[in-house]
Amino acid sequence: MSTPASAAPSASVWSLFSPTHLAASLMLAGGISLYAIETYVTATVMPSVVRDIGGLPLFAWVTTLYVACSVLGSIFIAIRPRGMSLNRTYMVGAFLFLAGSLICALAPTMEIVLIGRAVQGFGAGTLSTLGYAFIRYAYPEPLWGKASTLYAAIWGISTFIGPTVGGFFAHDSAWRYAFAIIIPFALAMGTLAPWLLPEGADDRTETKAPVRQMVLLIASVLMVSFAGTTENVSLRMWLVVAAVATIAVMIVVEWNVPVRLLPRGGVNLKKPISRVYIAMFMLLAALVCDIYIPYFLQVLHHVTPLISGYLVALIALGWTIGAFFSANLKGRTMRLAIICGAALEAIATGLLIFTMARDNPDSDLTLLIANTVLLFGMGFGVGLGWAHLVTYVLKLADEDEKDKASAGITTMQSLGSAFGAAMAGVTVNSTGLIAPGGVAGNISAATWLFALFTLPALVALVASISLRKTATDT
């Protein structure tokens, strides 16, 4: 494996933009930016798309197909054709993202939009995973965690940029420009990849596709994504149960076959890399209870939709600031940051029972400030440890499976978010949001939501604590 010259141990995040690393940082950050910004842009313009070309019954599949295909795109990194370098793979991801965006921009019907979103999602998953896969080629080891910090910052910034850009184009047929405007960027990045990115030579010993695991994984993603959108509570519950059962079957298959989806030890709890993946999954699953927070803020605390949106954006801001705060930690303090971050997320989520699940008709400032602090704390907790968990994955994976390990990071992100969103929907719709509804129903739903979503954060905490004696210092 070839790496650039070593950086000083005290190197900061800004070292990623030194002349030596600037080109790679712009390309890798740009790839993740395409994914992140387009996620929020699309969410903003979709009501306009439906008003213009119809297709309301297919509305949910715009996100479902995107998520499922992004998982496939992340897996593609590990099973790409033998000999294909990472910078060539980047070209494939960028041009697929371009093609998907073009299809969406020209789509005459919602069915064509779905095709475009599927292609877009595959390209986005590829680009997002390459951000992690390239770390070991583009940067010296002291900067691995800093690169993950940069990616966290991109997602935080995109939370503000995406809805703003989407809102600018969310009228009449202007939504098409929201997809078209990103095409020149994808074209430039795909074209420049062979020159601005290191080759990333193929050092894998296994390139066969774990077909059975892939089918089971995508089936679980589709089921849980659909569960998060259907209004039938009973169907929603059974879809989640079926999705969990499918994941369990996938783990059994992964354990017993030679061609694996995850790196060695990925489903073996005795191995630290499996517990790192669990921590990632659970941290993201707990965080997505935020999808109902704007509604609770508006119904229970009587704030405007605009203010509720900005308050929830504090979670992303907290993640970004937490990532920068812990960027220079290493060794024992790095592990402590992961543990403290998981604990902080659990505490902040649990305390929302007492501050968010309250009737606040006068918009009492004390309660709103408390909610603001806790929302920021949820994101800050994840940000404290996320980049270090990424570093653990890259260091714990065997040399010939680091691309597979990088794909696992994106897979855990997608699965955690999808399962979390589905479970949030099941929880609130089963505990009062719909029946009886109103203030009492919302208080009940919010109480149950934050109580139950404290549990995955606690699981992440336990998994993080277990890393103390098994993961090596960095």
Task: Tell me the CA distances in angstroms from 101 to 39, 131, 187, 189, 239, one per residue in order.
Answer: 12, 20, 11, 14, 30
Q: What share of the chain has pLDDT > 70, as a percent?
A: 96
Q: What pLDDT is attached to residue 11? A: 65
Grouping H, G, I as helix, E, B as strand and the rest as coil, residue 359 is coil
Vertex 101: Cα angle to 98 and 107 (nearest 5): 140
pLDDT band at residue 265 using 50, 70 and 90 as cut-offs: very high
Q: What pLDDT is attached to residue 6? A: 42
Give the C-alpha separation, 307 to 297, whole Å: 9
473: left (phi over 0), alpha (psi -120 to 50) or beta: beta
Tokens of 123: 């390209």
Vertex 281: Cα angle to 279 and 285 (nearest 5): 115
Q: What share of the chain has pLDDT > 90, as a percent?
A: 54
Q: What pLDDT is attached to residue 4? A: 44
Q: Is the pLDDT of residue 251 over 70?
A: yes
Which DSSP letter does residue 263 get?
Answer: P
Q: What pLDDT is attached to residue 173? A: 81
Give the C-alpha separation, 365 to 367, whole Å: 5
**pLDDT tens, 81-91?**
888 999 999 99
Grouping H, G, I as helix, E, B as strand and the rest as coil, residue 324 is helix
**pLDDT tens, 123-163?**
999 999 999 999 989 999 888 888 888 887 887 777 778 77
Give the C-alpha separation, 395 to 273, whole Å: 9
Q: Amino acid identity, residue 139?
A: Y
pTM for the structure as a whole: 0.86
**pLDDT tens, 315-339?**
988 998 999 899 888 888 999 999 9
Please state the rounded mean pLDDT for residues 361-367: 93
Q: Which fold has domain 262-474?
A: Growth Hormone; Chain: A; (1.20.1250)
Q: Is the pLDDT of residue 393 over 90?
A: yes
Domain 19-206: CATH superfamily is MFS general substrate transporter like domains (1.20.1250.20)
Give the C-alpha separation, 253 to 469, whole Å: 29
